[in-house]
Amino acid sequence: MTPSTRQRGRPKAFHDKTEQNTVQALDRALAVMEVVAQKPGLRLSELAEETGQATATLYRALTTLQMRGMVECDEMQQVWHIGAGAFQVGSAFLRRTNVVERSRAGMTQLMRETGETANLGVEMQDEVLFLTQVETHEAIRAFFPPGTRAPMHVSGIGKALLSWFEPQQVQAIILKRGLAAFTPQSLTDEATLRADLDAARARGFAIDDQERAEGMRCIAAPIFNVHGEAVAGISISGPAFRLPVARCHDIGTMVRHAADQITTAIGGRSP
């Protein structure tokens, strides 16, 4: 890549992560911030023990971070806490976080690993709203264009989300939307649906076993935000003959892994 075509913001040695291309003082200061964030209220001597840094070096780093508002010192107790400046930087990350953007790479990888279409959806007005998908190259495939809606109780993503919703929220959705039958496999009884949701939560992924369309299966897992709330779902869908029951556990593990990676990418945490 020539200098004229090199991506802006990346120097020639961007991919070189050796020590000569890192700022050691900055690295040590960031390590201090991580400890202060994880274990607030530590004294200087305690921080030195946690970080393995000399007290004098550590104090210079803390003073520099304090000037930027990244850490704060309780002068009365002589203990250190994370500062408002760190929150402002974190908030900037939250503003640019986009679940669609952050999911794309994971969806593409999931499609390649399974050979089936990967989907991303969220709950919107008590239904599943499909945001994007990465289609398989197979001639027979599932297709959910962006903006497509589906009842939650017959959708893999819908059931993955419902399995982590509060019981009263699930009850409200059932009362509002009902449990209509789309195929003979649709779960139209509340007790049966709740048992299915409990199973989905326990194993980490939900299965739409031909409940919306005969001959089609879907395996989905939830994506969580910073509060540990299920805010989106990722799924693999395809014809039942390519997604037999015998493959559901292995594929479900792949989907769960992809969902966990997206959760991390958006700054979320799994409960």
Q: In this structure, what token pair is assigned to residue 55?
A: 């007290």
CA 225 to centroid of chain Cα atoms = 7
Query: How far is the C-alpha of 152 from the C-alpha of 173, rounded, in Å?
Result: 9
The token pair that represents 40 in the structure block = 């607030």
Nearest to 121 by CA among 161, 83, 65: 161
Q: Are strands 206-209 and 149-151 parallel, antiparallel or unpaired?
A: unpaired
Task: Fill in the amino acid letter for 137.
Answer: H
> Is this structure's pTM higher than 0.75?
no
Using alpha carbons, select from 154, 114, 120, 150 the residue that is nearest to residue 239.
114
Out of 3.40.50.300, 2.60.120.10, 3.30.450.40, 3.40.710.10, select the CATH number for domain 97-265: 3.30.450.40
The enclosing H or E element of 104 equals: helix 99-114
**Cα–Cα distance measured from residue 269 to residue 12, given in angstroms and rounded to the nearest whole number:** 35
Unique residue bearing structure tokens 């890192």: 22
Q: Can you give the C-alpha Rg of the chain in angstroms?
A: 24
CA distance 79 to 68: 17
**pLDDT tens sequence across 166-207:** 999 999 999 999 999 999 999 999 999 999 999 999 999 999
Q: CATH 1.10.10.10 in the chain: give the residue spans.
A: 19-94
What are the residues whose beta carbons fall under 8 Å from the beta carbon of 58, sequence distance 6 or more? 32, 44, 47, 48, 51
State the pLDDT confidence band at 100, using cuts at 50, 70 and 90. confident
pLDDT given for residue 9 in this prediction: 54
Q: Which helix (H) or strand (E) holds 269?
A: none
Bridge partners, 130 (sequence order): 121
Strands 127-134 and 117-124: antiparallel
Tell me the CATH architecture of domain 19-94: Orthogonal Bundle (1.10)
Give the pLDDT band (50/70/90) at residue 1: very low
Q: Start-end ranges of CATH 3.30.450.40 in the chain?
A: 97-265
